[in-house]
Amino acid sequence: MGYRWPNARLDLLNKRVPQLDQENAPTTGDVTARQGDIIVCTNTTAITVTLPADPPLNARVTVIRASTGEVTIDGNGELILGETTQSMPLPCDAADLVFTTEGWLLT
């Protein structure tokens, strides 16, 4: 028998999933993200998510590919893992990006 945590609850590693508001509504077209955005891509054709220009250190953006259309993330002049763009090749891919002195990194 496995260990049972007392008073256990499922809340995704103690992180709450933020409720999407109008600004973070699903998108089906090209979009420019702002710091703190959660971009849910429900596109069926290829789109580009452009990251914020001149982001402050520790700025965060989350991009979720929630449909069949290809999603490309553009660094908007900054590198993403050493490249100017990154693609999300599979449905259900997600990228939680944070801006550092080395550019955009995945967390």
Question: 10-57 pLDDT, tens per residue?
Answer: 443 444 444 555 556 789 999 999 999 999 999 999 999 999 999 999
**Residue-range domain boundaries for the chain:** 22-106
Residue 5's pLDDT is what?
Answer: 41
Q: Are 70 and 81 in contact (CB under 8 A)?
A: no
Q: Vertex 68, ends 64 and 73: CA angle to 5°?
A: 45
Average pLDDT, integer, range 46-74 = 96
